Amino acid sequence: MSLDISAVLSGWDFQPDDLQVRLIAGDDGRDRIQMRVDLGVLQMECEGRPDGRRPHDAESLLDFHEERRRRAVESGEDFTLDASECAALMREGLQYYHRYLSAFHLQLYDMVARDTERNLRLFAFVSRHAARNRDKIEFDQYRPYVTMMLTRALALKEIGRDDAKAALDRVDEGIRRIREFLVEYRQGEREAECSELNFLLRWRADLHRERPVDPLERLEDQLRDAVSRESYEEAARLRDEIAQLRAGEPSEHRGPG
């Protein structure tokens, strides 16, 4: 069997300004993701660790260290991650980053959600147990970006189901979590400098503007406007229509009086 990968690269020229990924069927029938890079191709498994390895017979290094911590707690022992262990966990986290970025491009939003949630779990674990504070910061600095990617995947899934309200709820949750991060690091007054937060805020405004308006919501908006204008007869009529709509009755447009 030839080890030359020229046939794999043939017709798939590298474009430095584009993310080039594809989903392929492996020789064993399992799907894999390929990412074109300047000197070749990265190939990733769709399940488990992207490189297909099982370090220490665990699904990932993160799983291995989580089990180590569990045993240490049961034994009443201290548990910390040294610098070399953190470096290995960072390399592993980068594999999941490549996969969820590729999956997002392929619109595999369940995979994106799974892998971003996994990396957020990694950041929390290292922040809690790393011996050096610099390692904690090195991981946790990526939390806003990964939270944004998770939010986008979850919201796009809801949009695919034509549930605009659920999509907005997902975006609101992502906005809340990034704001909590900024407050945690005493950066709450610097929201305008957080690109991930500002992306979600702009996207939320677009989604809110484009969403189908629920008839009840439209009437409630009209009622608030009528009250603000002190148009009490119109407000009374709108209250009747809202009550009838909530009761499942047909709305009757009555004149004032």
User: Which pLDDT score is estimated for 254?
Assistant: 41
Which among 168, 137, 163 is positioned nearest to 151, based on CA atoms? 168
- Is the Cβ–Cβ distance between 151 and 185 less than 8 Å? no
Domain ranges of the chain: 142-212, 215-246
User: Which pLDDT score is estimated for 215?
Assistant: 79
User: Which pLDDT score is estimated for 213?
Assistant: 66
User: Which pLDDT score is estimated for 226?
Assistant: 85
Residue 34: phi, psi to the nearest 5? -115, 135
Measured CA to CA in angstroms, residue 234 lies from 168, 216, 222, 238 at distances of: 30, 16, 9, 6
User: Which pLDDT score is estimated for 251?
Assistant: 44
For residues 120 and 16, give the distance between their C-alpha atoms in angstroms, rounded to a whole number: 28
Mean pLDDT by 10 residues, the chain (257 residues): 86 92 93 95 97 97 98 96 98 98 98 98 98 97 98 97 93 97 95 97 92 76 84 89 77 41
Q: Are strands 21-25 and 31-37 parallel, antiparallel or unpaired?
A: antiparallel
pTM of the model: 0.82
User: Which pLDDT score is estimated for 209?
Assistant: 84
